[in-house]
Amino acid sequence: MADYDLVIRGGEIHDGRGSPGVIGDIAITGDRIIAIGTVTGSGAAEIDARGHIVTPGFVDVHTHYDGQATWEHRMMPSSGHGVTSVVMGNCGVGFAPCRPDQHAMLVGLMEGVEDIPEVVMTAGLPWNWETFPEYLDALAARRLDIDVAAQLPHSALRVYVMGDRGARREAPTDADLAEMRRLTTEAIRAGALGVTTSRNMLHRTRAGDLAPSLNSPEDELLALACGLRDAGAGVYQLIADIFGAAEDEFALMRRVAEAAGRPLSFSLLQMATGDEDGWRKYLRALEAANADGVTIRGQVYPRPVGLLFGLDLSFHPFSLHPSFRPLADLPLADKVAALRDPALRARLLAEAPADSNPFYLAIVEASTATYVMGDPPVYDPAPEDRLDRIAAREGRTAAEVAYDRLLDNDGRNILFLPGANYRDGNLDAAREMCTHPDTIIGLGDGGAHYGVICDASFTTFYLQHFVRDAVPGQAVPLPAAIRSLTDTPARAVGLNDRGRLAPGYLADINVIDLAALTLHAPTMARDLPAGGKRLRQLADGYAVTIKSGVITYRGGEPSGALPGRLVRGAQAVA
């Protein structure tokens, strides 16, 4: 009879705390790690990890699986990149609380902010909840390939409390503030991990209306903070106004964190325009706040936060042109055939984009200042390879060059617009932010941006680009990189039972062939409800992924096991 359910043998164990890797075994019984070192007993199943690294399962604290977790069992792309726990409900958007007559409003908001097609949500969402505790109950009945933790989204909460006044961004009454505070406390006590909001003026519905949380007065943000204080638990997540002064935005966040008495985190990027040194100002302010005992962390991303364009994606340089509209829903091959017509080409090159959403117009107008991504994908392209610069050298327009590149590879080419965290062909700022002691690596955005962003693969990229393949002298040490993907994010949100390899911790584990780790270019799949499309991105090198002691993936292929569950609130080590 076996001594353990599962034993991992002979791998280079990285415990998630930044310690040097050591060769050894891991014994698992049930969902917990029982022993690490030299395991003499046998396992009912055993994994030969010789030549591989063994890490805790990765944790992504910024995702949008709020809808996907209700209609699907696999939280791809995240679960294909070693992620075993995610936190969703970020950016102040989500699907609960929600009254029956508010479904369309939240769907429209998610369509605009997170690029999830309306038809997908209409077909996929079961809406078997109204309050946030009821939403958690619905999630608790689900069986998934990873664990999910939910946060209370401000925009949904505001409309739930204020109705149309909330959607129109009117000022709240004292009664409104008291009710938002009460419901925040109720959500935390029911198992929400935190509360989230957005001040990003780019967050709009598909029609171009601003998200309900935008322009909310400070006393409303403080009401949410006081809801956390009343509950004595939870975290506060916020997206700052990217057009606001760093000093003013951080001062507001510090007041919110002080009122809550709870940890706060916010999205931190090196912006492509505006205050080029804003990210450094935020880092210095973070250092000062944490030195004063006010816990604030920057959520950072280890590569450019950029947009993807293609004929089968949500946007490309001609997607909002009048002559392209009739082609939008055609199969890719039919689009390509139509676009090869010289007459249509001439019309499209002569037209301008038209749409009611100014952000969408800005996206399309920037889409010729892009790079062909290639396969394997290049996330730090050379500046001279930008399409508009190629066009200048060739004496053509950028639109002409983009048109031709889109038709290459039978229309499957993807154009990449590196926005934040990219400057002059390097990712130096991203590296500095990711290795700062007051930041959390995340922002994978899994479950959202189905047709324009595919960033949930950042774990694979980080281990490739900044660890294994980095220029000598600039590599992030492997133990530190693993800690930043596991222990650091887990502790930042109170998931203290995971992120480490030690007896008593959850058996969330990756066995990785680091030498073979390879990130492939994104591709489009039609596997969402109602035949909706989404970008997928595969990777080689993940030999085995284990969730709660159960093998969920071997060589990137799902085992069929679904041990993932809803995580209610902060967790302690058993």
Q: What is the pLDDT of residues 250-292, one digit of tens each?
A: 999 999 999 999 999 999 999 876 677 889 999 999 999 999 9
Burial label for 268, CB within 10 Å (0-12, 13-18, 19+), is: buried
Residue pLDDT, tens place only, 2-56: 999 999 999 999 999 999 999 999 999 999 999 999 999 999 999 999 999 999 9
Give the pLDDT confidence score for residue 36 in this predicted structure.
98
Query: Would you list the domain boundaries of the chain?
Result: 4-57+509-522+538-558, 60-307+422-492, 311-419
Distance, C-alpha 21 to centroid of its chain: 28
Q: pLDDT band for position 360 (50/70/90)?
A: confident
Measured distance CA(351)–CA(367) in Å, rounded: 15
Structure tokens of 92? 């102040």
Contacts of 503 by beta carbon, 8 Å cutoff, 6+ apart = 32, 33, 34, 35, 36
Measured distance CA(142)–CA(149) in Å, rounded: 12
Give the pLDDT confidence score for residue 105 in this predicted structure.
85
State pTM to two decimals. Answer: 0.95
pLDDT value at 313 more than 70? yes
Give the pLDDT confidence score for residue 208 in this predicted structure.
67
CATH topology of domain 4-57+509-522+538-558: Urease, subunit C; domain 1 (2.30.40)
User: From 3.20.20.140, 2.102.10.10, 3.10.20.600, 2.40.70.10, which CATH number describes the 60-307+422-492 domain?
Assistant: 3.20.20.140
User: Distance of CA 184 to CAs 132, 151, 220, Å?
Assistant: 9, 10, 12
Burial label for 470, CB within 10 Å (0-12, 13-18, 19+), is: middle
Q: What single-letter DSSP state applies at residue 473?
A: T
User: Distance of CA 558 to CAs 141, 408, 562, Å?
Assistant: 21, 32, 10
pLDDT value at 516 more than 80? yes
Residue carrying the six token digits 């680091």: 514
Measured distance CA(341)–CA(345) in Å, rounded: 6
pLDDT value at 204 more than 80? no
Q: pLDDT band for position 210 (50/70/90)?
A: confident
Burial label for 163, CB within 10 Å (0-12, 13-18, 19+), is: middle
pLDDT value at 203 more than 70? no
Q: pLDDT band for position 425 (50/70/90)?
A: confident
